[in-house]
Amino acid sequence: MTRAIPPSIPILDSDIQDFADMSAALTGFQSSVLKPALDPVGLAREYYIFAVTQVGGTAMTTLLNAYRAIKAQTARQIADTLLETSGSSPSPQAQLAQSIVAMWYLGAWYVPGVLGGGGFAPPPLQVISSAAYTNGLVWRVMQSHPMGYSPFTFGYWSQVPAPLSSFGVNTGNGGGQ
């Protein structure tokens, strides 16, 4: 497996926190889910470094600065602005934001701007790590667990799952905290 090479730029804890807060707004999840105060997995850091390694420090800093400029807005506004959801074609910066969402949801890196075809998703460059796979947000969205990584017990599948709100989703409108 290709390990991310640490970028040459300095990695500030404040950048990681802003990355996590921005990611929370983009993904619809609580920032405390993506980056808990005591973080046993460290995905925010891993993802930040991975993304910077892929696209370079400048692109990431530009995106983070765009986020910082609007961080007082609601999570919904932040997501719509950075992902340019109302525009006809996303800018390279919005495509980077898309790849960051995909990374959190699917645990893999999708090269910005590469679309799928033939009825299927685009091929990811890499599953970032086994922890990235087992912590993918998409499994929470479906009120389930990663395929191959069930925390539940025998017979749970015959019952209605816990509500979506209990899976770490930011159901409020208050800014991705």
Partner 1 sequence: MSANTPKYDVVIVGAGVSGNLIAKEIGLAGKKVLILEAGLPVPDSREEYMENFYLALAKTPESPYPALAGRQGSQVNPVGELPKPATLPTPRATVLSLGQSPETSYLVQQEPFNELHKNDPNPPPPQNPPTDENGNVRGLQFSSTFERNGGGTSWHWLGTSLRELENDIRLKTKYGHGEDWSLTYSELQELWALAEKEIGVSASVAQQEPLEVVGLKYPPGYQYPMQAIPMSMVDQAVSSGVAGLQVPGMLDGQDDTLYDVFVTPTPAGRNSEPYDDRRVCAGNTNCIPICPIQAKWDPTVTLGKALDTGNVTVSYQSVAYNVAIDGQSATRVDYYEWSRDAGGNISKVSKSVSAKVYVLACHAIENAKLLLLSNNWKGIANTSDQVGRNLMDHPLYLTWALAPQPIFGYRGPLATSGIESLRDGEFRKYRSSFRMEIGNEGWNFSKGDPYTTTMDFIQGTNNSNVNPPPGGSGQPVRLGGLKLVEQLNNIFTRQFRIGCMFDQSPLAENRVTLDLDKETGKPNHVDGLGLPRPKVEYGLDPYTMEGFRMAAYVCSKVYERMGAMEFTTNGGGGVGDFTYKGVNYHYYGAGHVVGTHRMGDKPKASVVDASQRSHDVQNLWIVGSGSFPTVCTANPTLTLMGLAFKSAKSILAALGS
Distance from C-alpha of 3 to C-alpha of 111, rounded to nearest angstrom: 16
Phi/psi at 37 (5° precision): -55, -45
Distance in Å, CB of 155 to partner 1, minimum: 5
Distance from C-alpha of 162 to C-alpha of 131, rounded to nearest angstrom: 23
- Residues at the contact surface with partner 1, assessed by CB under 8 A: 1-2, 25-29, 75-76, 78-80, 82-85, 88, 90, 97-98, 101-102, 105-106, 108, 110, 115-124, 126-127, 129-130, 133-134, 138-139, 141-145, 147-150, 152-161, 164, 169-171, 173
Within 13 A of 118's CA, how many CA atoms are on the CB side? 2
Closest to partner 1 by CB, 9 vs 166, is 166
Distance in Å, CB of 10 to partner 1, minimum: 28
Tokens of 93: 């910066």
Closest to partner 1 by CB, 71 vs 76, is 76
Closest to partner 1 by CB, 7 vs 176, is 176
3-class DSSP state of 8 = coil
Distance in Å, CB of 5 to partner 1, minimum: 15
Closest to partner 1 by CB, 11 vs 144, is 144
The DSSP symbol for 164 reads: G
Distance in Å, CB of 34 to partner 1, minimum: 13
Distance in Å, CB of 67 to partner 1, minimum: 12
Closest to partner 1 by CB, 40 vs 148, is 148
Burial pattern 28-58, b for ≥16 Cβ within 10 A else e, equals bbbbebbbeeeeeeebbbbbbbbbbbbbeee
